[in-house]
Structure 1
Amino acid sequence: MKYNNPVIKGFYPDPSACKVEDTYYLVYSSFQYFPGVPIFESKDLINWTQIGHCLTRKSQVQLDTVDSSGGVFAPTLRYNNGRFYMTTTNDTLRQNFYVWTDNIYGEWSDPINVDQGGIDPDLYFEDGKAFFMSNGIDDYGVSGIVQCEIEIETGHKLTPSRSIWQGSGGRYLESPHLYKMNGRYYLLAAEGGTEYGHMVTYARGDSPTGPFEAYTHNPVLTNRNLGGYELQGVGHGDLIQDHDGNWWLLHLGFRQTGQYLTYHHLGREVFLTPITFGDDGWFTAGHEGTTLLSFETDRITDTIVQQEKKEFTFENTDWNLDWCYLRHPVTANYQLEADKVKLKGTSITLDVPASPTFIGIRQKDFNAIISCEVSLTSGEAGITLYMDENHRYDLALRKHLEGYEIIERLNIGDIKSIEHTKSIGQCNHAALIIKSTPTHYHFYAQIDGIETLLGTAQTKYLSSEIAGGFTGVVIGLYATGESQDFNATFTNFSCIYS
């Protein structure tokens, strides 16, 4: 069959997977968003459905005042003796920890901390032992991939942290994962930085503690030399074996807004690439070491059809799965119903690293029509295309002394400007519409069935290349302005991709 990449679109970076019986499970980074660490499941590796989050309680993760792209970094998901483990880093606190559950559809434990630095932690289980790895500096001052043995019940270190591999020479050695395959131990990593030079490298050895011999032809996977190809930034992956014994790499990458336009604003997404072992026990990846936007393969039967959801509404999404908050929300400010949401604004705006009244859903593709009807009694409410506090576009309804107006606000770094306004008198209701292309957003207001273009803004100013950071655009519904009651009601939300 032919399948298309990415297999999960939008801001879902740093994937890590495990297989239990006939089901694959996958987790991702969530940074400053809550709930933390989304969980997806699949039966075929190409069709994925979200089933929950690992971090759903304030006691599990500290996100207050976390800057954008801070908070929860790359997780690893593993299964051992009937129990799931997810280990990750709260980078703002520089703390590695893990949580566990016996029911992946239920709640997870409170965190168990590990006294080892670095980021991108990994867990490997063998013969009753648990090995913990991260990137960083070991107890002897040596940098690289650092490993110790821990007591899994408590997180206490049983051995000193020791650097076991220094990579292939690329910068930012990270994302370690350890596997036993065909009687040998394989250590997978990422190098080059999660940008255009990103790559997957690996080494192998005869013991889980090393020494490890690097693959001669590292990097095993990278798109760094594919100029003029939409898919870039390939790296940070996890190996998974399918039902038939084939190996695959689930990894991140990003799509440029155009063939030679080196900007991306959807975030880092999830790609699936086949792995092939040679007779010498070393493996290669993808098409001559690169990842493609589509692969022809006989590893997946033609009876499986790759599905893609094209329309997202209040009615066909789940508030607890598809939507997210900025940091820990004040739940009293949200009234979530099957066909609408009511928001209570506060003095906290989208300009600060706090928790404004905001609920968002990830933008999943370039071409889209985003629309929602908004009613307002006071303050301001509308749709924001949110990259971070300093990089976002707002289309909103606002009350002022003479009545109501619709505004288009652009926030680009230190420049925050209301570009266009449209007065609507005493009418406190409007339909807000954003039409998205790869390179531009177009902002419309619809009053009494008449659609008016307010303005246009380039998508590149919400890209990682300009904004920095590790996230992607989230389509947010928000309200500001202190009120005793709910001051904004949103109905008829729709995001349609083409």
Structure 2
Amino acid sequence: MKFRNPIVKGFYPDPSVCKANDKYYLVCSSFHYYPGVPLFESDDLVNWRQIGHCLTRQSQVYLENIESSGGVFACNIRYDNGRFYMTTTNNSTQQNFYVWTDDIYGEWSEPINVDQGGIDPSFYFEGNSTYFMSNGIDENGRNSIFQCEIDIETGEKLTPSRVIWHGTGGRYLESPHLYKINDLYYLMAAEGGTEYGHMIIYARGDSPYGPFEAYLNNPVLTNRNLGGYEIQGVGHGELIQDHHGNWWIFHLGFRQIGRWIMHHHLGREVFLMPVTFHQDKWFTVGSDGTTQDEVEIMHIPNTTKQIEQTQYTFHNTKWDIDWCYLRYPDKANYIAQESELKLRSSLITLDMANSPTFIGLRQRDFHVEISCEIRVNDGEAGITLYMDENHHYDFALRKSGNTIEAIKRLNIGDIKSIHKQSIINSNIATLKITSNHETYSFQVISDGKVIDLGFAQTRYLSSEVAGGFTGVVIGLYAQDGTCSEFNDFNDFICTYLDE
């Protein structure tokens, strides 16, 4: 079978996977977006469908006034004795915690805190013992992986936290995961930072506490030396064995805009590569330790077909699964129906680290065509290409008295400017955005007339410009009104085009 990477496109970083009841489950970081921690299910490791989120109540996670790229960092999902566990860090409160559920399609528990610092927490279960690990800095200032044992019912530490590995010396040692394979314990982690130098490393030992011997040819997977190659930033890996005994590694990576344009704006995505264990019980990834965009492998039968959804509408998406909010939404400002969305303009704007009236879908590919018919009744209503509160392109209808304007506003750091605007004769118009790798183009269709409002470069919404750990989210929003009337959004269509 041949499949293409990434297997989950768009801003779904830091994948963690587990296997249960003949299916596979995957979770990703969500940062300041709500609900938190997207949850996916798969039958074959290649095709993934989102089935919910792990953090769906305000009591589970604190996101109030958290700036972009704060909040929920990398997470880890495990299945043990009939129960699912998801552990993560709220980096804004510096707290590691976990939630659990007996029903993967239902609600998750209230959070249980663990008194161990660092980020990227992970579980390892063996017998009646629960091992909890995260990264940190030891007393000598060295990057380290710390581990303790906890009472899984209460989160109470049963042993002191101790250093079990210092990695290979690369910067930002993170994302530890522990596995028992062939009677050996494998500790996998990442180094180099979640940027162009990212890499996956591992070591093995005879006990969960080591000592761990590093793989001689670390890093086992990295694209850091592939200049001019689309897939970069490969790291943060997770091993899993499929139903047929084959091993795989899930990991994050990103696709840069162009062969020699070192910017990425779609966020960090989910990639899959095959793993081979050798007679000496060390493993390698792929054929050369790099991640490719196309993988042909005999482990997956040819009857399996990689299916990709290419169009998203109000009709074929679910408001509580596919869409997301910025922090906790004020639900009084939203009326979400099967074929129509109504948004009440808020005094909270997209520039604020709060919760504007906003609901979004992650941008999943470079070539996309977005259109929506909008009726503005109060303030400003439109589509935003949102990276963070300081980097977003807003395309909207704006009502001021009896005047209706179509505007394109560019927000790039401290520069916030209405780049182009046009007075139209109606408060109803269709807004259309078309993008390729390098540009977004903007058109207004009103009374049968097409008004071109120019273009903007995608690179200014990239992580290299904006910083942070997220990706562009296509948002529908309303702001700067009297908070008295709703604005209407109809016929939303987001179509990904062949490249």
Bucket of the pairwise TM-score, normalised by the shorter protein: over 0.9
Q: Who is 1:80 aligned against?
A: 80
Q: Who is 1:325 aligned against?
A: 325
Q: Who is 2:457 aligned against?
A: 458
Contact kept? 1:333, 1:344, Cα under 8 Å: yes
Q: Who is 2:117 aligned against?
A: 117
Contact kept? 1:248, 1:273, Cα under 8 Å: yes
Q: Who is 1:184 aligned against?
A: 184
**How far apart, CA to CA, are the structure 1 residues paired with 2:229 and 2:314?**
35
Q: How does 1:87-486 map to 2 (within 5 A)?
A: 87-137=87-137, 143-425=143-425, 427-486=426-485
Contact kept? 1:333, 1:486, Cα under 8 Å: no
Q: 1:151-204: CA deviations, max 9, x gaps?
A: 111111111111100001110000000000011000010100000000000000
**Aligned letter for 2:474?**
I
**How far apart, CA to CA, are the structure 2 residues paired with 1:46 and 1:206?**
33
Identity of aligned residues (%): 65
**Normalized against structure 2, the TM-score is what?**
0.98
**How far apart, CA to CA, are the structure 2 residues paired with 1:225 and 1:421?**
44
**How far apart, CA to CA, are the structure 1 residues paired with 2:111 and 2:139?**
23
Cα 1:449–1:215 change in 2 (3 A) is same
**Aligned letter for 2:368?**
A
Contact kept? 1:138, 1:162, Cα under 8 Å: no
**How far apart, CA to CA, are the structure 2 residues paired with 1:55 and 1:146?**
26
**How far apart, CA to CA, are the structure 1 residues paired with 2:64 and 2:374?**
29
SS at match of 1:75: strand
Q: 1:15-61: CA deviations, max 9, x gaps?
A: 00000131000000000000000000001010000001000000000
**How far apart, CA to CA, are the structure 2 residues paired with 1:463 and 1:310?**
23
Contact kept? 2:347, 2:483, Cα under 8 Å: no
SS at match of 1:73: strand
Q: Who is 1:51 aligned against?
A: 51
Q: 1:216-271: CA deviations, max 9, x gaps?
A: 10000000001111000000011110011000001000001111111100000000
For structure 2, list consecutive stretches of 5 or more residues without a partner in the other structure: none
Contact kept? 2:397, 2:405, Cα under 8 Å: yes
Q: CA deviation at 1:483?
A: 3.4
Q: CA deviation at 1:351?
A: 0.3
Q: 1:106-127: CA deviations, max 9, x gaps?
A: 0000000001000000011111
SS at match of 2:386: strand
**How far apart, CA to CA, are the structure 2 residues paired with 1:484 and 1:26?**
39
**How far apart, CA to CA, are the structure 2 residues paired with 1:482 and 1:274?**
53
Q: Who is 2:39 aligned against?
A: 39
Q: CA deviation at 1:141?
A: 7.2
**How far apart, CA to CA, are the structure 2 residues paired with 1:211 and 1:304?**
41
**How far apart, CA to CA, are the structure 1 residues paired with 2:232 and 2:16?**
19
Q: 1:422-480: CA deviations, max 9, x gaps?
A: 1013x111100000100000011001222221021000000001110000000000001
**How far apart, CA to CA, are the structure 2 residues paired with 1:179 and 1:484?**
53
**Aligned letter for 2:29?**
S
SS at match of 2:437: coil
Q: Who is 1:489 aligned against?
A: 488
**How far apart, CA to CA, are the structure 1 residues paired with 2:123 and 2:23?**
20
Contact kept? 1:142, 1:163, Cα under 8 Å: no
Q: CA deviation at 1:209?
A: 1.2
**How far apart, CA to CA, are the structure 1 residues paired with 2:353 and 2:8?**
28
**Aligned letter for 1:154?**
T
**Aligned letter for 2:435?**
S
**How far apart, CA to CA, are the structure 1 residues paired with 2:308 and 2:446?**
32
**Aligned letter for 1:437?**
N
Q: CA deviation at 1:138?
A: 5.2
Q: CA deviation at 1:139?
A: 8.0
**How far apart, CA to CA, are the structure 2 residues paired with 1:356 and 1:455?**
26
SS at match of 1:466: helix
Contact kept? 2:393, 2:409, Cα under 8 Å: yes
Q: 1:51-76: CA deviations, max 9, x gaps?
A: 01000000000000111000000000
**Aligned letter for 1:358?**
F
Q: CA deviation at 1:481?
A: 2.6
**Aligned letter for 1:456?**
F
**Aligned letter for 1:168?**
T
Contact kept? 1:139, 1:162, Cα under 8 Å: no
SS at match of 2:88: strand
**How far apart, CA to CA, are the structure 1 residues paired with 2:22 and 2:475?**
36
| Aligned Cα root-mean-square deviation (Å) | 1.1
Q: How many residues align?
A: 497
Q: CA deviation at 1:486?
A: 3.5
**How far apart, CA to CA, are the structure 1 residues paired with 2:287 and 2:380?**
50
Contact kept? 1:247, 1:276, Cα under 8 Å: yes
Contact kept? 1:342, 1:486, Cα under 8 Å: no
Question: Is it true that 1:13 corresponds to 2:13 in the alignment?
Answer: yes
For structure 1, list consecutive stretches of 5 or more residues without a partner in the other structure: none
**Which shifted more, 395-404 or 23-32?**
395-404
**Normalized against structure 1, the TM-score is what?**
0.99
**How far apart, CA to CA, are the structure 2 residues paired with 1:347 and 1:484?**
7
**Aligned letter for 2:250?**
L
Contact kept? 1:382, 1:396, Cα under 8 Å: yes
Contact kept? 2:267, 2:470, Cα under 8 Å: yes
**Aligned letter for 1:459?**
T
**Aligned letter for 1:181?**
I
Contact kept? 2:36, 2:56, Cα under 8 Å: yes
